[in-house]
Amino acid sequence: MHIDIHERRWIIASAVMLAVFAVAVVLSALSLGIRLPGREPRSLAVAAGFDPNEGWIRQLGPQRYEVNLFAQAFFFDPGTIEIPAGSTVTFNLHSRDVLHGWKVIGTNLSMMAIPGQVGRVTYTFDEPGEYTMVCNEFCGLGHHVMAGKIIVTP
């Protein structure tokens, strides 16, 4: 099979470029710890007094919190989450009805809320400010009012 020398070089260069990108992705995942959601057990181990079917925020320790977050047409529960800067928060994301999206603008937090599944992600909020969280998956006619806030106090 005849491959022109320039085309051969182009193909090799393309493959090298893709390999470089792949390595960058692997490094960012493993050494920077930027991970994607995975499979989680459906039931949560919760402390007494915290109903796994309700939305809440509870403190686990100094600068350490857990949020049980429900996405529902057309609001988040809890809709406003207030934490001090420097806190590390674990979110458990559920849907009470249809598919929703959950994106906290200005952070790497982005996850689907799928009925029947729990999404779990942990994030440290270093910067104070008000972060808007929006639903970014069509969930019905009120989709465009579905938003909430994470307030990170200094």
The site for another protein (CB under 8 A) is made up of: 1-4, 6-7, 10-11, 14-15, 18, 21-22, 25, 28-29, 34-40, 42, 73, 93, 97-99, 101, 103, 105-106, 108-112, 114-120, 132, 134-141, 143-145, 147
The span from the CA of 148 to the CA of 77, in Å, is 9
Beta carbons within 8 Å of 110's beta carbon, 6+ residues apart: 101, 102, 103, 104
Cβ neighbours around 101 below 10 Å, total:
18
Please say which residue, 63 or 117, places its beta carbon nearer to another protein. 117
Output the smallest distance, CB 41 to another protein, in A. 10
The span from the CA of 92 to the CA of 98, in Å, is 17
Output the smallest distance, CB 103 to another protein, in A. 6
Please say which residue, 84 or 103, places its beta carbon nearer to another protein. 103
Output the smallest distance, CB 141 to another protein, in A. 5
Contact 151, 80 (CB under 8 A): yes
Output the smallest distance, CB 113 to another protein, in A. 8
Please say which residue, 84 or 131, places its beta carbon nearer to another protein. 131
Phi and psi of 2, rounded to 5°? -90, 120
Please say which residue, 35 or 58, places its beta carbon nearer to another protein. 35
Closest CA to 151 of 123, 129, 120, 122: 129
Output the smallest distance, CB 130 to another protein, in A. 11
